[in-house]
């Protein structure tokens, strides 16, 4: 393939041009497009806006289970038979302690996730109190909250309380959405993203790849997020959890394809924080480090219910590739603190679930 094509991809992205659907389709499926020059083209865009910096996020599963939605990919869904550790909402002090731990471990953003359909008035009041406590101690640190559907008024209240980002993933395209959830619609999710935008919050919204969608669905989500000007885009890869409606064999992801997806999201959303999110260790395997060339963000300490790579392995991967982290904590100091340990992530067919200590490290 002529190298001019790859440089044109980077130039179009940097100039703000939206790639047409035919070009997007080629990025995802054309075997004649070589992965290394494709990654290099995406890296030219990433480097322009983010240099060699990696933004680290740490999740706090503030409530586990007790959800009445039937999202087929989620271990907390009412339709899942996954063997998770269920508990109610953590105390304010426990959440604050976990925020301290997250920032001390190099996180640039602390992410609180609450199960359930929507943020009730009482939950909004609770969140306002917790946000105030965290911001009083860490005024310059970012906080992201995921708490189901949020109204326009709720988003405004959270913004005033100090919230920086609201997370609400689109997850898949509008046409494919009925195949992965029946208790709410794509429009319900989109309305929450629009409420966040209207309130002046940064938007964290992405998708889950590997849920039986077509290439056109991936392109649709990437372009929809571009039109929404989402500041942060997590690209999740279906985590195969035993007991979920979406069975492990339903996901047929390869490292090559995942890297193509990340490149596509970078070309279409050049200034956004692109996060290689859940499932990166399981699906990218030996190619995991290559994701840092289109993506500029990742998670430490695993995901909501699934374990991830050890902090030591992830931080060493970042350093070995010549990248730094966006943090007041020096990466070299973190590497000294995080001694090598046996990795919990295997390349098998199902993910390992977190135990209670991993879900509630502040106890």
- List residues with catalytic annotation: 67, 71, 74, 111, 144, 204, 275
The CA distances from residue 322 to 55, 258, 303, 325, in Å, are 14, 22, 25, 10
Report which of 113, 355, 17, 57 is spatially closest to residue 234, judged by C-alpha positions: 57
Q: How many angstroms separate the CA atoms of 134 and 109, rounded?
A: 12
For 235-300, the DSSP string reads: EEE----TTSSS-GGG----HHHHHHHHHHHHHHSTTSEEEE-TTHHHHHGGGGGGGGTT--EEEE
**Residue 4 exposed, middle or buried by CB count within 10 Å (0-12, 13-18, 19+):** exposed
Report which of 76, 170, 72 is spatially closest to residue 116, judged by C-alpha positions: 76
Q: How many angstroms separate the CA atoms of 261 and 266, rounded?
A: 9
Q: Parallel, antiparallel, or unpaired for β 165-167 and 202-204?
A: parallel
**Positive or negative torsion for Cα 65, 71, 73, 79:** positive
């Amino acid at each position: 393939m002529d190298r001019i094509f790859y440089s044109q991809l980077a130039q179009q992205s940097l100039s703000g041009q939206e790639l047409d659907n035919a070009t997007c389709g080629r990025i995802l499926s054309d075997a004649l497009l070589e992965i290394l020059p494709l990654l290099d083209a995406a890296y030219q865009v990433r480097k322009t806006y983010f240099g060699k910096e990696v933004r680290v996020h740490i999740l706090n599963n503030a409530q586990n289970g007790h959800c009445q939605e039937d999202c087929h990919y989620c271990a907390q869904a009412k339709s899942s038979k996954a063997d998770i550790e269920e508990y109610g909402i953590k105390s304010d002090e426990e959440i604050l302690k976990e925020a301290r731990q997250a920032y001390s471990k190099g996180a640039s953003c602390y992410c609180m996730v609450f199960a359930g359909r929507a943020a009730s008035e009482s939950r909004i009041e609770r969140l306002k109190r917790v946000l105030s406590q965290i911001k009083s101690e860490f005024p310059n640190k970012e906080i992201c909250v995921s708490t189901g559907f949020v109204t326009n008024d709720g988003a405004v209240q959270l913004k005033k309380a100090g919230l920086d980002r609201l997370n609400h993933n689109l997850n898949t395209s509008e046409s494919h959405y009925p195949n992965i959830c029946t208790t709410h619609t794509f429009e319900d999710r989109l309305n929450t993203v629009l409420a966040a935008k209207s309130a002046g919050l940064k938007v964290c919204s992405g998708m889950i790849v590997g849920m039986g969608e077509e290439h056109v669905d991936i392109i649709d989500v990437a372009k929809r997020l571009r039109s929404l000007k989402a500041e942060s885009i997590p690209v999740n890869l279906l985590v195969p959890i035993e007991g979920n409606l979406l069975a492990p064999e339903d996901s047929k992801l390869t490292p090559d394809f995942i890297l193509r997806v990340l490149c596509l999201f970078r070309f279409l959303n050049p200034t956004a924080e692109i996060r290689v999110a859940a499932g990166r260790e399981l699906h990218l395997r030996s190619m995991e480090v290559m994701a840092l060339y289109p993506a500029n963000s990742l998670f430490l300490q695993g995901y909501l219910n699934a374990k991830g790579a050890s902090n030591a392995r992830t931080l060493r991967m970042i350093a070995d590739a010549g990248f730094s982290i966006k943090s007041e904590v020096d990466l070299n100091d973190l590497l000294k603190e995080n001694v090598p340990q046996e990795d919990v992530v295997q390349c098998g067919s199902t993910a390992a679930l977190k135990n209670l200590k991993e879900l509630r490290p502040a106890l």
